[in-house]
Chain A
Amino acid sequence: MPGTILTLLTLLCILPIQAAPTGRAFVTNERSNSLSVLDTDTLELIQTLPIGKRPRGIGLAPDGSELYIALSEENRIVVLDPDTLQVLRSFPAGSDPEAFAVHPNGHIYISNEDDARATVYDPRDGRQVADIPVGLEPEGVFISPDGKRVVVTSESTNMLHVIRVPEHDIIKNVLVGARPRAGTFNRAGTVLYASSEVAGEISRIDAVSFRILRSTRLDEDRAKPKDVLLDKQEQRLYVAGGRANAVFVLDPESLELRKRIPVGKRTWGLAMSADGSRLFTTDGVSGTVSVIDTTTDSVIKTIAVGKFPWGIVIDD
């Protein structure tokens, strides 16, 4: 018995202290320079606060204690307390910071859209950790579950750049369909998915050899895919369909279309609740967030937010 207690105590010391989740979803509104705060339980808008010029990328610290927002036209990242919504600090984040991903070690990997670079920052002190030349219009950033690979898409060079951590060198460049925008790894880190907006394509890629295993073109002219996300059981791949005004549900293996969920206009961003029961979309032109119940894959609520909602992150 004392042994068990000791083990528990030891575990408590080893595990990072998680900040209590706020139960909120945070949405950047690119054209109203604001942040919308939603209650993920009641699905109501709680608050809208001015945040700075052209907010786009958004993410949480690994322990949930801090919220990061990229202000593209201010060339910096602002750090908020997700609970009090107070601005804690901000730091310069290179030219035109757009999308970013937070590494399990706490570092922020950013695409600097107008500078053909990916940069890495330590948000604790704003120090630049690395600066990596990539292709034109870098956009999507996603990180392997073990943290050893960071993938940056360059939209106008049509590539996924695979960056090794901690070396921060590019070990592979994968040519995909025109205008790659976003991607995600599976939980095992064996496969990744990427969207190509202008080609209307989704690619399934081996995460060791980085060979394209399969690509599929969404069979709808207006389908311009952006965010992609796996469901919790990894049985479904959700794709934000852009101008198709729908979320596409694909089989993650065959990439065959299973379902089409109509949402607001120009849907770009996706985020999943921690329990996997709800999928949130940002609908740019409509200025809404659509909430999808993943048991039925249908919209249960549409929440009005600011102009051109871009990024969304859930703190639950």
Chain B
Amino acid sequence: MPPIIASMVMQSTPPVPPPGYGALCRALPVLCGLLASGPALAAEFHFYYAGEAGGALLGARQGAAEARIQGRFLGQDYRLEKHPGEGTLPPQGIGIVAAVPAPALLALARAHPEVAVFNVAADDDALRQSCLPNLLHVLPSRRMKADAVAQWQALHPDAGVQAQAWHPAFVKFAARDLNKRFRKAHNTAMDDAAWAGWAAVRMSADLIARGDSQDAPGLLEQLRTALAFDGQKGEALNFRANGQLRQPLLLVNDGGLVGEAPVRGKDLDSLGARSACPSP
């Protein structure tokens, strides 16, 4: 895979004038640029990406770019780098975004037991029964997708649909805005893997921003117990005990978006198997 360099996530964002420098910045923008990286940077957090280049990587980059926008108001910076392959992560290492098949994913999770490993590519149901406390499945499982299709078909008997985590034509709940930002930055449509990569980084940064988790084990704990993530699907999202992200799914017929699951009257736990893993 091509090397992932940190500068890729350093999308240019205008400097934020520090308090008191607004007028100066208007008069002398260059000077302001020197002065004004906002609050002194107190913390830098690194995500590591494991997998081939593709939608998941673009999504993780988008997530990191957005995390930087949030971080510039809080003195926090974020980077996305290539997973080193072997050994422990440096102290700034906060999470691993993994777009790899099941065996490699399990190996990664076991190699970094105190670091959140986000599964953004594999939908195998068996993975959801592994009960590794640091393995978090951002993508929906096959079972969740099957449940979503069954719910839809119970209401629309002839409809041949498939379920997805995301769709580039989704507009509700500000999905329009996320799709627009992603397309503008990467010149391609956001697919399921891209949404999952984005969500993995954004949900982590949202918790870090709130200040309760400044290292990998702390973040993992917060992800499993205190998450209320706005995945731009209208609901606050969190993880089941088996590490699967509860989430609404989109129903697609012939490439076109036709509906959402859970259908009216059902809740998010109507999609997917109950967790057989111990609660955190």
Residue of B nearest to A170 (CB): B16
**Cβ-based interface call for A304 (8 A):** no
Q: Which residues of A contact B234 (CB under 8 A)?
A: 198, 224
Report the minimal beta-carbon distance from A83 to chain B, rounded to whole angstroms: 35
**Cβ-based interface call for A159 (8 A):** yes
Total residue contacts A-B, CB cutoff 8 A: 84
Residue of B nearest to A177 (CB): B228
The reply to whether B174 and A157 contact each other, CB–CB distance below 8 Å, is: no
**Cβ-based interface call for B180 (8 A):** yes
Q: Which residues of B contact A157 (CB under 8 A)?
A: 66, 69-70, 73
Interface string of B162-179 (1 = CB under 8 A from A): 000000000001100110
Q: Which residues of A contact B17 (CB under 8 A)?
A: 169-170
Q: How far is the CA of A199 from the CA of B206 in the complex (A)?
A: 13
**Cβ-based interface call for A137 (8 A):** yes
Residues A158 and B66 in contact in the complex (CB < 8 Å), given A133-B14, A135-B73, A198-B235:
no
Q: How far is the CA of A158 from the CA of B210 in the complex (A)?
A: 10
Chain B residues touching A, range:
35 or more
Which residues between 158 and 202 of chain A lie within 8 Å of chain B, taking CB atoms?
Answer: 158-159, 161, 164, 167-171, 173, 175, 177-179, 198-200
Interface string of A206-231 (1 = CB under 8 A from B): 00000000000000010010000000
Q: Which residues of A contact B87 (CB under 8 A)?
A: none
Interface centre among A155, A198, A199 (most CB of B within 10 A): A198
Interface string of A1-19 (1 = CB under 8 A from B): 0000000000000000000
Chain A residues touching B, range:
20 to 34
Q: Which residues of A contact B15 (CB under 8 A)?
A: 133
Q: Which residues of A contact B5 (CB under 8 A)?
A: none
Residues A135 and B174 in contact in the complex (CB < 8 Å), given A156-B232, A179-B230:
no
The reply to whether A116 and B69 contact each other, CB–CB distance below 8 Å, is: yes
**Cβ-based interface call for A113 (8 A):** yes
Q: Which residues of A contact B278 (CB under 8 A)?
A: none
Interface string of B109-135 (1 = CB under 8 A from A): 000000000000000000000000000
Report the minimal beta-carbon distance from B62 to chain A, rounded to whole angstroms: 11
Residue of A nearest to B210 (CB): A175
Interface string of B59-100 (1 = CB under 8 A from A): 000000010011001100000000000000000000000000
**Cβ-based interface call for B187 (8 A):** no
The reply to whether A158 and B209 contact each other, CB–CB distance below 8 Å, is: yes
Q: Given A167, A177, A221, which contacts B20 in the complex, CB threshold below 8 Å?
A: A167
**Residues in chain B within 8 A of chain A (CB atoms):** 13-23, 25-26, 66, 69-70, 73-74, 173-174, 177-178, 180-181, 206, 209-210, 228-230, 232, 234-236, 267
**Residues in chain A within 8 A of chain B (CB atoms):** 113-114, 116, 130, 133, 135-137, 155-159, 161, 164, 167-171, 173, 175, 177-179, 198-200, 221, 224
Known A135-B70, A136-B181; 6 more pairs at CB < 8 Å: A136-B69, A157-B73, A169-B19, A170-B73, A178-B236, A199-B236
Listed from nearest, the 5 A-B pairs whose CB atoms lie closest are A169-B22, A178-B230, A167-B22, A173-B73, A198-B230
Can you list 20 A-B contacts with CB-CB less than 8 angstroms, sorted by A residue number?
A: A135-B69, A136-B66, A137-B177, A155-B230, A157-B66, A158-B70, A159-B73, A164-B22, A168-B22, A169-B18, A169-B19, A170-B73, A171-B19, A173-B73, A177-B228, A178-B228, A198-B230, A198-B236, A199-B230, A221-B267
